[in-house]
Structure 1
Amino acid sequence: MPVGTTLSRWTMAYFGAALFFLLLAESLLSAGLWAPSSAVAEPHALIIVHSMTIGWLGLLMIGALLQFTPVLTGLGLPTGRLDLPCLAGTVAGLGLLLCGFQLIDVGSAAAGPVMVAASAVLLASLLSIASVLLSGLWRGRAAHAASPLVMLAIACLAVTVVLGSLFAVTVSGVTATPGISAFVVNALPFHASFGLAGWMTFAAIGVSYKLLPMFLLSQEMQKSPFIRGTGAFAAITLGVATVSTIFEPSLGQRVFLIGSLFFQLPIAAYLAELFLTYRARRRKALELNMSGSLPAFVLLGLSVPMFAVALVGDAAPQIFAAIAYLFVFGWLTGLGLSQLLKIVPFLTWIEAFGPLLGRGPTPRLADLLNGRRAAAWLSIFYLAVVASAAAIAAGSDAGFRLAVTVQTLATAALAIELVLARRLANVAPVTRGAPFQQPALFVAAKPQR
């Protein structure tokens, strides 16, 4: 990391909470709480969806940005005092939200107050930490071309959270206004698109613009203005579609189709530049995080045009569910898990051994992780994701449950590998003599340079 960049004290806690919710969502799928024959809008499905989106992907991305926003901008964040309260608030708010969906499922009158409380806590927590990140990115926006991409992502996060709060109080029955209820039904795809395509995908693209060339020892990627411009247009189009739905739902759907088609441009430009970056790398032997990300990039390149084709062809609901599964688990989750296999050992090495350089033996970064074992589990994960999506498309409940169970086991194994790396279980004891201090599992002991 650049000189002067400190370790984020709570990034590991965000990562730990994120992995918990990923395993929770996959375990619920393995237990049969949702199957291809079920509707995607029933309460049990919404519990799984929000465990994935807010719990896994949201906390993962926020935790990563707390550490890497200073890397992008060369400036520290304006405050770190909100990191822990916002983590606690997001976890608590998500817990209330999941309980609210369960209460709706059993028809409890307590669902309304619980959903209102969940919306308030999530809105305050997510918008607070988003404002901290946005402030840091804005001050350092000229330092790296990726910063505006992440700012675009955070703007989409804000829209996602506001729409989600409206949906939560409507679904709970707190408001029964016919116009609002109709808007909620029609705008659900826009809420999901702002979250998955706007917030999470553009944040992932923005962070990778800085990190991937650094990991590959390659030249900086250059097409971010085009990606930012076309991405912003797609996001604006999605916003127009959302507003249009209030007055004319059919118009909103047509504008949504236009935005979906236009979304192909930034994704195609990003993937093309990734290909050139990989080819121009000076580090010829790919590390696990980079080779493990290749299937994620492939599934991104497949799922985005598949969604547009399905939208144009008015495909069956299970086809959209299968494509969404590839996008969420194949692209976003695959990329997240792959990069964690580098980021967690990287930050752990800096904390544990950075202060000891020149004072005694230190292990290589690669020694912190059993790469061969992790690579095997990551391969199984990707194969299980593809098999799960195929089972959804085929409408096979039994096939899906088998595949997602394998996927869950692979994810749990990868989480264990990350814990072992954090605990330095793979490192020779000789490197852990005084004045070495064992890093805490979820907290960086203190800011370090």
Structure 2
Amino acid sequence: MRLLLRQPLTSIRRVATMIPGARLSRWTMSYFAAALLFLLLAEGMLAAGLWKPSADVGDPITLIIVHCVTIGWLGLLMIGASLQFAPVLTGAALATERFNLPALVAIVAGLATLICGFAAIKTGSPTAALIMPVAAALLAAGLLGIGAVLFTGLWRGRNVHAAAPLVLLGIFCLAVTVILGVGFALVLSGVTDVPLIVDLALRAVPLHAGFGLGGWMSLAAIGVSFKLMSMFLLSPDTSRTRVVLAGGACTFLILAVALSCLFAGGDVIEPLLFISAVVFLGTIAVYATEMRTLYRTRRRKTLELNSIGSIPAFVLLALSMAALVTSMPLNADDRIRAAIVYLFAFGWLSGLGLAQLLKIVPFLTWLEAFGPLLGRRPTPRLQDLIKERRASFWLAGFYLAVISAAASVAANTDAGFQISAFAQLVCSAGLIFELFQVRILAHVDAVAKSGPFHQPGLLIAKTNSER
């Protein structure tokens, strides 16, 4: 709680929804838990050799792993974080929380069905034609439904914080990603052979990835990180957030033009993809500068693990985007681009997500367990909930494993990649164990947990009336 008490009064008011007595998002921990399980599943498949650098990137097994990472891990992680921190960006609660659990169930069920559908395609089973539309419907309902809840809340408070429009733009990209994904599912399963849809499925994969990884996940991560980093570093808000927003909007406006050209039968997608990548690289440069400003103007003298652990993610974001822009005019082969995407997805998005979870989970757990006791009796410090030295070892190992795996993909080395993927799996499991220890308050002594005290639920945050 020292973190909150050291902030100026205006900062405390901005995080009013996060202080004791305020509402915690009931299902955020459930989203985080499901996301982490899908991360382990994807990494386990990589470590088992179900995908290798020498394998076809369009193989159904590859698509299973890709969607476990994008929808299961990164998607659920971002939604869970947004459910808790969107109200912090806007200063107002979301319109409803009733859809949070049904959306989680729909997304998980839809992804499980999608995995079965890809497996059916792999084996040539005719059941794929039945499974894939069900998967598409479940995923569309869950993702678009929860996206609408978040969009409505953020739209109402879009002028409160300059980062809120970034997340709004990310949710718009989510909608485009889902619509394209539904089209792909219908084509891959053989449900439709409409020429326009089939042609779109064949040519729009880069746009699907761009709107998903670059738009929805990256813009939402950038928007939330502006607030999280300023809050945890005790730094003033940056001045060029709107420049980042403008760059992001231009990037995905160009992608939208490329998509419309596909519908119109144009053949300019490659030049437009390159232009959008260049614009996004410039946007990332401004974002990196703003992050540097947050670190330099912080009032917290000693950097905590989440702040230190996010720096490699920012570096890998810049490196992967620079590599992508460089590779496009050089017509780099698929292995090089696969390595760049791997570095982007695991180095930037996953690295940032895991680093911030090492702060978010203890922060929310402390608020739930000890926030109501503040002023009534001594409470443990926030840093007492986690063993930072041990967690830092796992996080550093994760980054090294990701870099090694990406290098193995670029070098087309199957054995090196599998070893690196196994190391990445082990480090991820270590981080998840540390988060589990935090949630059950394993490092807090018995005196601090004596009555009046209520143990937080592992997956569900207790409401004020339940404490």
TM-score by length of 1: 0.98
What is the Cα deviation at residue 371 of structure 1?
Answer: 0.3
The 2-side partners of 1:351 and 1:159 are apart by: 36
Match of 1:407 in 2: 424
Match of 1:344 in 2: 361
Match of 2:16 in 1: 3
Q: Please give the secondary structure, in 2, of the residue aligned with 1:40.
A: coil
Deviations 1:178-202 (A, max 9, x none): 3322221110010011000000000
Aligned ranges 1:387-398 → 2 under 5 Å: 387-398=404-415
What is the Cα deviation at residue 221 of structure 1?
Answer: 1.2
Sequence identity (%): 54
Deviations 1:293-346 (A, max 9, x none): 010000001001110111111101000000000000000000000000000000
Please tell me whether residue 136 in structure 1 is matched to residue 149 in structure 2: no
Contact persistence 2:51–2:61 (CA under 8 A): yes
Please tell me whether residue 59 in structure 1 is matched to residue 76 in structure 2: yes
Deviations 1:126-167 (A, max 9, x none): 111001000000111111111111100000000000100110
Match of 2:373 in 1: 356
Q: How many correspondences in the alignment?
A: 449
Aligned ranges 1:49-448 → 2 under 5 Å: 49-248=66-265, 250-447=267-464
TM-score by length of 2: 0.95
Deviations 1:211-267 (A, max 9, x none): 101111112111111111111111010011112123445312221211111111211
Q: Please give the secondary structure, in 2, of the residue aligned with 1:145.
A: coil
The 1-side partners of 2:192 and 2:426 are apart by: 41
Contact persistence 1:8–1:447 (CA under 8 A): no
Structure 1, 202-211 or 276-285: larger mean CA deviation: 276-285
Contact persistence 1:381–1:407 (CA under 8 A): yes
The 1-side partners of 2:404 and 2:391 are apart by: 20
What is the Cα deviation at residue 356 of structure 1?
Answer: 1.0
The 2-side partners of 1:28 and 1:300 are apart by: 25
The 1-side partners of 2:97 and 2:81 are apart by: 14
What is the Cα deviation at residue 446 of structure 1?
Answer: 1.2
Letter in 2 for 1:149: L
Match of 1:48 in 2: 65
The 1-side partners of 2:212 and 2:16 are apart by: 33
Letter in 2 for 1:290: S
Q: Please give the secondary structure, in 2, of the residue aligned with 1:78.
A: coil
What is the Cα deviation at residue 282 of structure 1?
Answer: 1.6
What is the Cα deviation at residue 447 of structure 1?
Answer: 4.2
Letter in 2 for 1:230: G
Q: Please give the secondary structure, in 1, of the residue aligned with 2:192.
A: coil
What's the C-alpha RMSD, in Å, of the aligned pairs? 1.2
Unaligned runs of 5+ in 1: none
Contact persistence 2:23–2:463 (CA under 8 A): no
Structure 1, 125-134 or 356-365: larger mean CA deviation: 356-365
Letter in 2 for 1:437: H
Contact persistence 2:281–2:318 (CA under 8 A): no
The 1-side partners of 2:264 and 2:413 are apart by: 39
Structure 1, 313-322 or 278-287: larger mean CA deviation: 278-287
What is the Cα deviation at residue 96 of structure 1?
Answer: 0.4
Letter in 2 for 1:426: H
What is the Cα deviation at residue 111 of structure 1?
Answer: 0.4
What is the Cα deviation at residue 359 of structure 1?
Answer: 2.2
Letter in 2 for 1:306: A
The 1-side partners of 2:218 and 2:130 are apart by: 32
